[in-house]
Amino acid sequence: MNRKTHAVITGTGSYIPEITISNHHFRDHVFLDSEGNRVEGSYKEISDKLTAITGIQERRYAPEGMQASDLATFAARQAVESAGIDPESLDYIIVAHNFGDVIKNTVQSDMVPSLATRVKHNLKILNPSCVAFDLLFGCPGWVQGLILADSFIGSGLAKRCLVIGTETLSRVVDPYDRDTMIYADGAGACVLEASNNIQRGILASSSETHAGGEAYYLFLGKSYAPDSDPSLRYIKMHGRKIYEFALTHVPAAMKLALDRAGLTIHNVKKIFIHQANEKMDEEIIKRFYRLYNQRQIPSDMVPMNIYKLGNSSVATIPTLLDQVLRKTHGFDSDLVEGDVILFASVGAGMNINAVVYRF
């Protein structure tokens, strides 16, 4: 399809909670398996294994009294400010999340009104033509928000969109499940605007939903504690199945997006992949390169922040993008006009997507 406009990122923002939770925080935890049996091994053995597989050494938690919509609002304000726009001029506010606002020490989701409506309210936007809605698409939600915003802009339905990913996963985890150590809180956002320069912005994308046997690889289930309340549900996952699924399907989706853009791996400067599991992400990239018969991966191709921030689901890619572009948290971006980057994600659904973007 020949398009006259492309969606260009003109501003980014993020909110990284100040509460740092190191692996040492879990030293006194009693971890159980799905049958309620105690997981063998010392705290150090469990922690070392987690770090070896996921790369996670620390994660961030939101303070009590701050909800996912609050994190989203902070990130949104930054993005709007860096774009230099009047928030009243926004046509859409799209908020990707999975669990809504969850008050600390509860596991009940609050999504009425929508988080996007709450963000619009917090930003004091009065324009009724600024449409605010939530997007539930698992961890790939923020990337899917980019794809939706690009569709609105490309079809002429919008000139400016705000896309946010926000989550407080620390409040929906089972303290007896080792996977608790993976999840984190955070929010990231970007402003996309219509541009007549069709050489810039979002060039192509791909999306998939695998809902056969894969549909419940991520799900809500009861605590592993035998005496727990069966009516309370926590986030659970079949880690090995997700790992194998991602390695099988994500590289092909990434290549499909590049094919649609008329580009190859040789045109890509950096890959921003969902920060879920360092070992899994590294293997995805290796398999992606093999699709082009390539074995050598540039050392700076894939920026990572999972070591310090953990897995914040929909927030991992937008927070990483903001850090790289702002050159904060140890990143020193060398991205310049004309550089091509690739976004890619996988998560509950099971959903996959990828976006090709040129600066």
Instruction: Please count the structural domains in the chain.
Output: 2
Which of 137, 168, 199 terminates a domain? The answer is 199
Provide the pLDDT for residue 2.
63
> 159 lies in a domain?
yes
274 included as an active-site residue: yes
DSSP code at position 57: S
Distance in angstroms (rounded) separating the CA atoms of residues 27 and 45: 10
Please determine, for residue 1, whether its predicted confidence score (pLDDT) is greater than 80: no
DSSP 173: -
Confidence of residue 57 (pLDDT cuts 50, 70, 90): very high
* pLDDT score, position 67: 97
pLDDT at 231: 86
Q: What is the dihedral of CA 127, 79, 356, 303, to 10 degrees?
A: -160
Q: Which residue among the candidates 274, 277, 305, 351 is catalytic per the annotation? A: 274
Nearest-10 Cα torsion for 278, 222, 39, 43: 60
Asked if residue 226 and residue 115 are part of one domain, the reply reads: no
Given a cut of 60, is residue 172 above it in pLDDT? yes
Question: Residue 265 — pLDDT band, cuts 50, 70, 90?
Answer: very high
Residue 255: is its pLDDT beyond 90?
yes
pLDDT value at 245 more than 70: yes
Together in a domain, 68 and 30: yes
Look at residue 312 in the predicted model and tell me its pLDDT: 97
Q: Are residues 186 and 264 in the same domain?
A: no
My answer on whether 41 and 181 are in the same domain is yes
Residues 245 and 317 in one domain: yes
Residue 322's pLDDT is: 97
Percent of the chain with pLDDT over 70: 99
Number of Cα atoms under 13 Å in the Cβ half of residue 139 = 30
Query: Do 189 and 74 fall into the same domain?
Result: yes
pLDDT value for 182? 94
Catalytic residue among 6, 97, 130, 139: 139
Average pLDDT (97-115) is: 92
Is 245 within the bounds of a domain? yes
Q: Which of 169, 199, 229 is the last residue of a domain?
A: 199
* Beta-carbon count within 10 A of 35 CB: 7
Q: Do 222 and 312 reside in the same domain of the chain? A: yes
Residues 218 and 275 in one domain: yes
pLDDT at residue 293, as a whole number:
95
Question: Once rounded to an integer, what is the mean pLDDT over residues 130-145?
Answer: 98
Confidence of residue 288 (pLDDT cuts 50, 70, 90): very high
Per DSSP, 218 falls in state E
Average pLDDT over residues 329-349: 92
Q: Where does residue 256 rank: exposed (0-12), middle (13-18), buried (19+ CB within 10 A)?
A: middle
Domain that holds residue 95: 6-199
Of 199, 232, 261, the last residue of a domain is 199
Q: How far is CA 78 from CA 47, 113, 193, 199, 322, in A?
A: 35, 23, 16, 26, 10
Nearest to 183 by CA among 328, 4, 17, 14: 17
Up-side HSE of residue 244: CA atoms within 13 Å toward CB?
Answer: 6
CA torsion, ordered 234, 240, 244, 247, to nearest 10 deg? 70
Q: Is pLDDT of 3 > 90?
A: no
1 occurs within a structural domain: no
The answer to whether position 344 is within a domain reads: yes
Three-state DSSP state, 159: coil
pLDDT tens-digit series, residues 22-48: 999 888 888 999 888 998 888 788 888
Given the residues 277, 311, 351, 353, select the one marked as catalytic: 311
Does the reported pTM lie above 0.75? Answer: yes
Q: What is residue 13's predicted lDDT score, i.e. its pLDDT?
A: 98
Residues 169 and 246 in one domain: no
Q: Domain containing 283 — which CATH number?
A: 3.40.47.10
Residues 238, 184 within the same domain: no
Q: Has residue 339 been placed in a domain?
A: yes
Q: Please report where in the chains the tokens 């150090």 appear, as a residue.
A: 44
How many CB atoms are closer than 10 A to CB 87? Answer: 22
Q: Identify whether 143 is part of a domain.
A: yes
Do residues 48 and 166 both lie within one domain?
yes
- 272 and 150 inside one domain: no
Q: Confidence band (pLDDT; 50, 70, 90) for 354?
A: very high
Q: Return the closest-CA partner of residue 173 out of 165, 161, 162, 181.
A: 181
